[in-house]
Structure 1
């Protein structure tokens, strides 16, 4: 049965369109303006999320029928990728790069999601990647999400506006509140209750107001595109001053986080059993609904992200969850609690089976809670927890810590393990999703998982990779060397079978220098390279460069230029290991002059790497800083505050390096300035100890690195702001030198 139709006349022909699908017509107008009148969408009754795409013979256009708006978006995407051969990427949309006349469908293109939920976002992505984004940048990503079939993305921008209003209504003054929120890139951890306050100064009111306005646009667009935004809720983390206003309330300090000073951790926690918790929850959700409308019943709420409960008693844990959920249902009778399962990974010693069962058991039913099995591809918990004791859960790919950029993935696992989990006895898996901490590179490993969510059989990696490359370079007649280059990557960097390597590989030049402990590290932020560089990365780059020589039109493709820079980046990062090993060996057996000579290749590699990265806008420190400063307009004091926060987050993270190098990036300006200065300092220190016959000390090196970071973080960027040099010519020079 068709629903909500209205009629549009185009060139004498009547088009019937579904009013609920107008967001898709707007998407077509944005991304395919020359074909804005060529697509017709309509909704039909049916189970789950499914679509059919057929030719509209009377118009020479395309009709997409669907059971949900999200399914219609996916149907449009399948037509564009399968029949037209175009796609939309993080580097931009290429959906309009095809001839005037649409290719015919030639039958029926059908699809059905194998899970009801397709989720996107890690809570910390809002600190590592999107923190300084404008709506233009959000608009591209939201279209990317909709077309790939995501239907429950996290909408976590602007949280502070509502929260601070709740605190004001509770009687707190602005002075009492001002020391609570963190700086912009660190807000996710403030929301998690890990830290409070900002080492760059109080969070400006302008930031709070601007982000609230941005969130309104994001939520509205999500809804228009058929997505249900996962909205925040009141978690219980409060300024310490609340206890002064409510002396009888059950407010206690949460557990400290990491090595941060007491001035910024812990926050205070209002226990859910206290009536004040429910009062503040009602205030928060009511204000949120007034701001965004009644657009969602799904609320993200995490109380123990790397914070352990004050008691391990199972009755206590059951009651915490029961009272938290009751506070949601009291204001929204249809509320669904979405929580991250990261606590069961990071604090596995505390969260025993009995404690997890008690905590989850505080929420009645199976569909009233959605748990993100946050690290399914490397450290799943669903299989150890009896499918979360029947609660709905989502198979997630974490993959990327802190936005690190090393090439790594396991395509075979991503196309098989979700199906294994879905088909396991008693499975309560209801979704698949992406929970990468930072959205930096490795795009194929994210694409394939979202596509697998629409296939009940494992995708064929070879066939998938070939079609993916053709869409990426929007050309089905590519030189054979292109396919071979990506086949090499798919069989090596994206076929990581080493279970000791978890998530993206980090380069050793991004961590504090030392004479030991850098190379071959496994586990969290590992540096072990699980493939031979010469037969994989170097070979792949040579093949792509060959393709660029054979078909010069490739040099006009943004994604091709991105890829040859990215692979060059990985090649030089790997070559740095060889130079470092030579330096260490020389230091143990040779003179000061020999050490100085052995250190020079490391510095040369960093300079060369910086020059390659500088040729592409996606690898510029300037872009990160410009995005931050743009929020300040002409207010230089505010701009400097934002730049300081931006710089600190990708370097020291904390005021004294408490999470040093966690969110490191390989960007031009960061490599050629910050990392180069650190390794210059390190090699000079090695030479000095040799000449003075002094003992080497890691403590001295670390102290020097913190001082460099604190100084660098206070600088103001002076440029260059734009790309420098020719990408292909620079890559060819790197091939001659390093491949």
Structure 2
């Protein structure tokens, strides 16, 4: 959920704990929300203990004191459902594959990518014990899972009269994943299952009495009077504080009107719930719900949907938002947090956000950017200070209302004639920053943080130039100018994309091979390795059996660029050339069918990719700069 420890500047901070109540509101509570199995840099799904240990240490150094601890819960669910009488096939059908467990836990999907091997349960349970021990050793309060009402369909065989609703498809995407079954919280069976599970949680994991449960996340309740799934479970632990996402109120705003929101939030006494204002930097829910109608909330920066590569930030909103929320009338703010779907991208945004928890007022962003450059590289070079000021004022300062900060670059999207080419920043600022970083490079290549940023900024420039060549290609096709099409397509396919792949392969933080090897390393045999490999590849690309959420978790990584994105662009350009040659129109449906075979082929190609950097990053970046910087300026 954040860039690796080598890509961060650690600063030791004295951690404070605050009461979770509304009359002692402070910004010092720093919450760490993350879906254990995130979209690619939902990379924690494949983490071993050393990687988890580094992450927890990073949390401690930044004062995070309320992290989610969801690992290993499927092992406990398996025991609960066995105790209720479900057979093994019914249990296995319920769980998704490892890469999709976050959504399985929120009732968005089940089955796809599974079944989970028994070795997975053993491994994850062992990992959770270590995670909890280290979190608690730093004084953190791990948030443990609770029952949300999401059940296997096999429950109906055992309890045919239970009040169960089969929800519709995952509403936001209208995709073809299996529909989930939700048990009504007022049904006595709900208390039975919830208590069984929480008893297992407390027995195995202990408890700090804060539990997370999310129902109806991007799913529509069966009636306009939704019950609250924590009500009956409160009977099991009278000290419980319930943590839930507020995302549902935004994603299905047409359903969640004030009456429905209040009914859900007031299902427990005021102060016994904490709501995560999940995307507050762009869509603050507290502002139109009277601070969640009295329930405490945490102002959260989501920052990134899917863990996408691509520079992005909204520094002005993040810098002012928590303090505005603190002074909101009758504010119930109890802290700030970070809730990205994936980390290991844009480390500067997480550094800024974690620091704000220790501030009493917004920072001077220009000054902060200057100090960040010095802290990050141990250098006070004016070039670096100027570069970061430019980046903060442009690519990291999206001010477009309701912008969903998802990387829509044509580079990482299935090619078509209807691709988003909009940008929220002045390209001249990006190019100036790139030049300044290149000029500073010779004396700083020993710094991993600098190498990472050199690759990342150069990658961003090539991403932008891909959009320019895409526009040249489509213009040439519509004007039926075959030579221009061949020229633009040739540069893209045979120079720019290969150069980008070489650049990404030169840094350990941008390697597909690392991701896939982490997945395979958790397997006991080749059958399990193939299952994990498929999960890891599918999540990055098709995101579903047929591309249901295509390219949602897009990553610009060495290997992926060569064998996935470049292959799609090659098919697109060659198809357009054939259309012009033959006088046939381009048909998107036919192309989609053909390119799907390319995409699916990548998932099952069994190729092993480098896990160690190859090539000299500086020489590659400098060559790219000398070749493409003049072109970039001409295209402004």
| Distance in structure 2 (CA, Å) of the matches to 1:736 and 1:495 | 28
Residue 530 (structure 1) aligned to one of 413, 424, 430: 424
Gaps of 5+ in 1: 1-87, 97-104, 521-527
| Corresponding residue of 1:480 | 382
Residues 1:541 and 2:434 aligned together = yes
Does the 8 Å CA contact 2:231/2:267 hold for their aligned counterparts?
no
Does the 8 Å CA contact 2:107/2:215 hold for their aligned counterparts?
yes
| Distance in structure 2 (CA, Å) of the matches to 1:190 and 1:201 | 11
| Corresponding residue of 2:21 | none
Does the 8 Å CA contact 2:175/2:548 hold for their aligned counterparts?
no
| Corresponding residue of 1:38 | none
Residues 1:204 and 2:117 aligned together = yes
SS of residue paired to 2:31? strand
CA distance 1:166–1:406, change in 2 (3 Å): same
User: Aligned-pair distance for 1:423?
Assistant: 0.6
SS of residue paired to 1:333? coil
Bigger strand fraction: 1
| Corresponding residue of 1:90 | 5
| Distance in structure 2 (CA, Å) of the matches to 1:110 and 1:558 | 28
| Corresponding residue of 1:100 | none
| Corresponding residue of 1:610 | 501
User: Aligned-pair distance for 1:332?
Assistant: 1.1
User: Aligned-pair distance for 1:124?
Assistant: 6.3
Residue 294 (structure 2) aligned to one of 370, 390, 396: 390
| Corresponding residue of 1:185 | 99
| Distance in structure 1 (CA, Å) of the matches to 2:132 and 2:392 | 36
Q: How does 1:260-659 map to 2 (within 5 A)?
A: 264-294=177-207, 296-312=208-224, 316-317=225-226, 320-321=227-228, 324-365=229-270, 367-475=271-379, 478-499=380-401, 501-515=403-417, 517-520=418-421, 528-533=422-427, 535-549=428-442, 552=443, 554-603=444-493, 604-633=495-524, 635-659=525-549
Residues 1:726 and 2:616 aligned together = yes
SS of residue paired to 1:151? strand
Does the 8 Å CA contact 1:541/1:567 hold for their aligned counterparts?
yes
User: Aligned-pair distance for 1:577?
Assistant: 0.9
CA distance 1:489–1:420, change in 2 (3 Å): same
User: Aligned-pair distance for 1:238?
Assistant: 1.1
- Report which stretch shifted further, 118-127 or 679-688: 118-127
Does the 8 Å CA contact 2:568/2:598 hold for their aligned counterparts?
yes
Does the 8 Å CA contact 2:68/2:142 hold for their aligned counterparts?
yes
SS of residue paired to 2:120? helix
CA distance 1:329–1:112, change in 2 (3 Å): closer
What do the CA deviations read for 1:435-454 (whole angstroms, capped 9, x no partner)? Answer: 01110321111211221111
Work out which structure has the larger RCO, using CA pairs closer than 8 Å and 6 or more positions apart in sequence: 2
SS of residue paired to 1:179? helix
User: Aligned-pair distance for 1:209?
Assistant: 1.6
| Distance in structure 1 (CA, Å) of the matches to 2:199 and 2:346 | 40
| Corresponding residue of 1:129 | 43
SS of residue paired to 1:555? coil
| Distance in structure 2 (CA, Å) of the matches to 1:597 and 1:479 | 40
SS of residue paired to 1:638? helix
What do the CA deviations read for 1:343-393 (whole angstroms, capped 9, x no partner)? Answer: 01111111112211122122222x100000101001111101111001000
| Distance in structure 2 (CA, Å) of the matches to 1:397 and 1:718 | 36
SS of residue paired to 1:502? coil
Does the 8 Å CA contact 1:158/1:212 hold for their aligned counterparts?
yes
| Distance in structure 2 (CA, Å) of the matches to 1:502 and 1:250 | 37
SS of residue paired to 1:339? strand
User: Aligned-pair distance for 1:500?
Assistant: 5.0
Does the 8 Å CA contact 2:97/2:535 hold for their aligned counterparts?
yes
User: Aligned-pair distance for 1:150?
Assistant: 0.8
Does the 8 Å CA contact 1:410/1:496 hold for their aligned counterparts?
yes
CA distance 1:354–1:217, change in 2 (3 Å): same
**Number of residue pairs matched?**
616
| Distance in structure 1 (CA, Å) of the matches to 2:231 and 2:284 | 29
What do the CA deviations read for 1:671-717 (whole angstroms, capped 9, x no partner)? Answer: 11100000000111111111111121111122222221111101212
User: Aligned-pair distance for 1:94?
Assistant: 6.7
SS of residue paired to 1:91? helix
User: Aligned-pair distance for 1:326?
Assistant: 2.9
Does the 8 Å CA contact 1:508/1:518 hold for their aligned counterparts?
yes
CA distance 1:269–1:95, change in 2 (3 Å): closer
SS of residue paired to 1:299? strand
| Corresponding residue of 2:22 | none
| Corresponding residue of 1:55 | none
Does the 8 Å CA contact 1:562/1:616 hold for their aligned counterparts?
yes
Does the 8 Å CA contact 1:401/1:504 hold for their aligned counterparts?
yes
| Distance in structure 1 (CA, Å) of the matches to 2:484 and 2:552 | 32
User: Aligned-pair distance for 1:514?
Assistant: 0.6
Does the 8 Å CA contact 2:86/2:154 hold for their aligned counterparts?
yes
User: Aligned-pair distance for 1:532?
Assistant: 2.7
SS of residue paired to 2:141? coil
SS of residue paired to 1:371? strand
User: Aligned-pair distance for 1:564?
Assistant: 0.1
SS of residue paired to 1:409? coil
Q: How does 1:704-715 map to 2 (within 5 A)?
A: 704-715=594-605
| Distance in structure 2 (CA, Å) of the matches to 1:498 and 1:613 | 30
User: Aligned-pair distance for 1:109?
Assistant: 9.6
| Distance in structure 1 (CA, Å) of the matches to 2:517 and 2:387 | 34
| Distance in structure 1 (CA, Å) of the matches to 2:164 and 2:420 | 45
User: Aligned-pair distance for 1:261?
Assistant: 7.0
SS of residue paired to 2:221? coil
| Distance in structure 2 (CA, Å) of the matches to 1:689 and 1:637 | 43
| Distance in structure 2 (CA, Å) of the matches to 1:110 and 1:654 | 41
| Distance in structure 2 (CA, Å) of the matches to 1:215 and 1:480 | 45
Residues 1:147 and 2:67 aligned together = no
Q: How does 1:93-108 map to 2 (within 5 A)?
A: none
CA distance 1:307–1:717, change in 2 (3 Å): same
Does the 8 Å CA contact 1:412/1:495 hold for their aligned counterparts?
yes
Over aligned residues, Cα RMSD in angstroms?
2.1
Does the 8 Å CA contact 1:233/1:285 hold for their aligned counterparts?
yes
| Corresponding residue of 1:698 | 588
Does the 8 Å CA contact 2:34/2:341 hold for their aligned counterparts?
yes
Gaps of 5+ in 2: 19-25, 630-636
| Distance in structure 1 (CA, Å) of the matches to 2:539 and 2:335 | 32
Does the 8 Å CA contact 1:155/1:218 hold for their aligned counterparts?
yes
What do the CA deviations read for 1:548-596 (whole angstroms, capped 9, x no partner)? Answer: 23xx2x1111000000000000000001111111111100113444423
Residue 257 (structure 1) aligned to one of 167, 170, 175: 170
Residue 226 (structure 1) aligned to one of 139, 158, 177: 139
Calculate the TM-score normalised by the size of structure 1: 0.80
CA distance 1:659–1:454, change in 2 (3 Å): same
